[in-house]
């Protein structure tokens, strides 16, 4: 049986403004509009005999990842939380160590959460081809059969035939255009997909041989780990000492046991808006249009409208992406440089690279509708049965107006039920909580006012999602 290890870290800044630090591309429905890329990654495993998946992601995305797995009907899954990014070799060391502790040395199928694969049958067939090699102790990588001379990917040169695949002759870095064209014409080179299949113990053995410092740090970090709800929190102090290295550099390029199985399944790493345009279904004018879009005399253009009507007239070869708080207009040949815009926004201290107007929380979401110097207005949605933390604010008061559903409100020492068109006022410093006791989503408008309205002005006393800091306040102030 295979144990899927899904790497769900990363920020996906080249797909800004849709992909952002707190909601990156792996959690977005970019391809078919229904499943996120993470969900599609897991769903394409249907038909293979696999155990429940193990995810590796960072602290900021933990609730988003867990909720998307639950939406697929998955349970008993494991989510490893990396306290800091240390690249793929340490991440997979954590996964392998955790796997051999929980299962009897499984075959690890290592996948990225943000890849697009259009032919799932061919994908599964390649995995089945790779299994005998992995059982024999090989570290198998999947080489993408190239469709063109691509300069944005690393390559794998195949060696001699080896069972159902090939030995690896060598790995090569991203080539220039002439070299890439030579690779394509030779028929001996494949794109490096970053997907792998190997037995957990074999990866750990090779890692100990070539990068023992990584293995030592990961063992220590896992010993100090703690389970929290669906998550395994890695010891941050121990993991911070781990060297930063990719699995390619740390192991695959150095081991004599590397093997490759070709994969020809309509693969893309969806690394840019132009890549999405290339793989998507286009109209007769070569346009790929998503959302409320009207295009006239426009050609070979990608338009994504998130919240309003977007129209184009007499334009060609553009990428236009509209969200509630940002608009990107770029030539398709320049979209690889979107990261420069994101870097500029970060330098200016702006929020647009980090959050959307809509921010997801384990209890639901909020949409920041309006804000000024001393006020902020949010539309809050609380899932049935969910509850926000028992909390207070030092610098802001809040006024809640229920739009639909039922709210159970703790306001100081009193608890009340509010329904449509009813409201309550939370003074500065008042301990309070909000819960949806009903079976439909609770919708309300929150008006904040005060001298400071940042999200870090929250003192939590009680929280079912494990977000309470140690000793948040003196006991006498906790009355709710």
Q: Give the containing element (helix H, strand E) for 143.
A: strand 139-144
* Residue 258 to residue 64: CA distance in whole angstroms: 35
CA distance 123 to 158: 19
The rounded radius of gyration (Å) of the Cα atoms in the chain is: 25
- pLDDT tens per residue across span 376-410: 999 999 999 999 999 999 999 999 999 999 999 99
Please give the residue that has the higher pLDDT: either 10 or 155. Answer: 155
Average the pLDDT over 461-480 and give the result.
58
| β-bridge partners, 259 | 140, 167
Helix (H, G, I), strand (E, B) or coil at 338: helix
Cβ neighbourhood burial of 94 (10 Å; 0-12, 13-18, 19+): buried
Q: Give pLDDT, residue 229.
A: 79
Q: Is there a contact between 115 and 136 (Cβ–Cβ < 8 Å)?
A: no
pLDDT of residue 32: 67
Selection from 394, 393, 397, 358 nearest residue 379 by Cα: 358
Between CA 101 and CA 107, with CA 105 as vertex, the angle to 5 degrees is 125
Share of the chain above pLDDT 70, in %: 97
27: DSSP letter: G
Domain ranges of the chain: 2-268, 273-343, 358-477
- Of 132, 80, 85, 100, the C-alpha closest to 205 is 100
Burial class of residue 231, CB neighbours in 10 A (0-12, 13-18, 19+): buried
Euclidean distance between CA atoms 9 and 318, whole angstroms: 29
**Residue whose C-alpha is closest to residue 101's, from 217, 204, 231:** 204
- Which of 111, 54, 55, 58 shows the shortest CA–CA distance to 82? 58
Q: What is the DSSP letter of 50?
A: B
Cα 156 to Cα 137, 146, 168, 376: the distances in Å are 20, 11, 7, 53
Is the pLDDT at 374 greater than 80, yes or no? Answer: yes
Residues 442-462 have a mean pLDDT of 95
pLDDT digits (tens, 9 = 90+) for 65-81: 999 999 999 988 899 99
Residue 470 reports pLDDT greater than 70: no
The CATH number of 2-268 is: 3.90.550.10
Strand ranges inside 297-413, DSSP E: 302-305, 310-313, 318-322, 327-331, 358-361, 364-371, 375-382, 390-392, 396-404, 407-411
The confidence score (pLDDT) of residue 1 equals 83
**431 pLDDT higher than 80:** yes
- Say whether the peptide bond before residue 477 is cis (omega within 30 degrees of 0): no
Higher pLDDT, 120 or 229: 120
Confidence of residue 167 (pLDDT cuts 50, 70, 90): very high
In this structure, what DSSP letter does residue 260 have?
E
Residue 37 has pLDDT above 90, yes or no: yes
447: pLDDT confidence band, cut at 50, 70 and 90?
very high
- Please state, in angstroms and as integers, the Cα–Cα distance from residue 243 to each residue in 11, 118, 254, 308, following that order: 21, 35, 17, 46
Question: What pLDDT was estimated at residue 332?
Answer: 97
480, pLDDT greater than 80 = no
pLDDT tier, 474 (very low <50, low <70, confident <90, very high otherwise): very low
Q: Pairing relation of β-strands 267-268 and 288-290? A: unpaired
Please give the mean pLDDT across all residues of the chain: 94
pLDDT of the residue at 476:
36
Name the CATH architecture for the domain at 358-477: Sandwich (2.60)
User: Residues 44-61: what's their mean pLDDT?
Assistant: 94
The set of residues, in sequence order, having a beta carbon less than 8 Å from that of 20 and lying 6+ positions away, is 11, 352, 353, 354, 355, 356
- pLDDT for 102 equals 81
pLDDT surpassing 70 at residue 473: no
For residue 101, the surrounding DSSP H or E stretch is helix 88-102
pLDDT tens-digit profile of 199-233? 999 999 999 999 999 999 999 999 999 988 789 99
| Contact predicate 98/232, CB 8 Å | yes
Say what the pTM is. Answer: 0.89
Sorting pLDDT into bands at 50, 70 and 90, what band is 12? confident
Tell me 249's DSSP state.
I
pLDDT at 469: 56
- In sequence order, the 6+-apart residues with CB closer than 8 A to the CB of 197 are 2, 107, 108, 109, 110, 127, 130, 131, 133, 134, 140, 142
CB 105 within 8 A of CB 132: no
* Percentage of residues in the chain having pLDDT higher than 90: 89
Residues 319, 328: contact at Cβ < 8 Å? yes
- Position 11 scores a pLDDT of 80
| Residue 104, phi then psi, degrees to nearest 5 | -80, 80
- The b/e string for 272-297 (b: 16+ C-beta within 10 A; e otherwise) is bbbbbbbebeeeeeebbbbeebebee
* DSSP class per residue in 170-184: EEE----HHHHHHHH
411 forms beta bridges with 414, 432
Cβ pair 441, 384 in contact under 8 A:
yes
Alpha-carbon distance of 194 to 248, in angstroms, equals 8
* Residue 472 confidence (pLDDT) above 60: no
- Mean pLDDT, residues 99-122 taken together: 94
Average pLDDT over residues 317-338: 97
Helices (H), 292-436: 338-347
């Amino acid at each position: 049986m295979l144990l899927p290890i899904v790497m769900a870290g990363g920020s996906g800044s080249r797909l800004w403004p849709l992909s952002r630090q707190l909601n990156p591309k792996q959690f977005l429905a970019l391809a078919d509009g229904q499943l996120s890329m993470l969900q599609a990654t897991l769903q394409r495993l249907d038909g293979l005999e696999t155990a429940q998946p193990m995810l590796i992601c960072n602290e900021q995305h933990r609730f988003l990842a867990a909720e998307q797995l639950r939406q697929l009907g998955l349970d008993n899954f494991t989510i490893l939380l990396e306290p800091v990014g240390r690249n793929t070799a340490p991440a997979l060391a954590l996964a392998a160590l955790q796997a051999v502790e929980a299962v009897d040395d499984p075959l690890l199928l290592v996948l990225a959460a943000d890849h697009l694969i259009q032919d799932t049958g061919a994908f599964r067939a390649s995995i089945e081809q790779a299994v005998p090699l992995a059982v024999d102790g090989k570290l198998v990588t999947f080489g993408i059969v190239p469709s063109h001379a691509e300069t944005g990917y690393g390559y794998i040169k195949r060696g001699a035939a080896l069972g159902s695949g090939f030995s690896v002759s060598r790995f090569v870095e991203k080539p220039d255009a002439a070299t890439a064209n030579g690779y394509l014409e030779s028929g001996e080179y494949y794109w490096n997909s970053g997907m792998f299949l190997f037995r957990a113990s074999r990866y750990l053995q090779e890692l100990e041989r070539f990068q023992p410092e990584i293995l030592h740090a990961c063992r220590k970090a896992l010993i100090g780990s703690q389970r929290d709800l669906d998550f395994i929190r890695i010891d941050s102090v121990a993991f911070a000492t781990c060297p930063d290295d990719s699995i390619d550099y740390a192991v695959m390029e150095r081991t004599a046991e590397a093997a490759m199985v070709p994969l020809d399944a309509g693969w893309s790493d969806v690394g840019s808006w132009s890549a999405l345009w290339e793989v998507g279904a286009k109209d007769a004018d070569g346009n790929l249009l998503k959302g409320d879009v009207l295009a006239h005399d426009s050609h070979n253009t990608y338009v994504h409208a998130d919240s309003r009507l977007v129209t184009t007239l007499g334009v060609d070869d553009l990428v236009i992406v509209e969200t509630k708080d940002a608009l990107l207009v770029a030539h398709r040949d320049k979209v690889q440089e979107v990261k420069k815009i994101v870097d500029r926004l970060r330098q200016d201290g702006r929020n647009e690279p980090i959050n959307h107007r809509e921010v997801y929380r384990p209890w639901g979401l909020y949409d920041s509708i309006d804000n000024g110097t001393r006020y902020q207005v949010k539309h809050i949605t609380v899932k049935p049965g969910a509850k926000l933390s028992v909390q207070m604010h030092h610098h802001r008061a809040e006024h809640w107006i229920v739009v639909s559903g039922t709210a159970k409100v703790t306001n100081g020492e009193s608890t009340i039920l509010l329904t449509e068109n009813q409201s309550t006022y939370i003074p500065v410093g008042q301990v309070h909580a909000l819960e949806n006791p009903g079976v439909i989503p609770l919708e309300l408008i929150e008006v904040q006012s005060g001298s400071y309205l940042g999200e870090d002005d929250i003192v939590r006393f009680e929280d079912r999602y494990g977000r309470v800091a140690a000793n948040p306040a003196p006991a006498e102030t906790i009355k709710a």
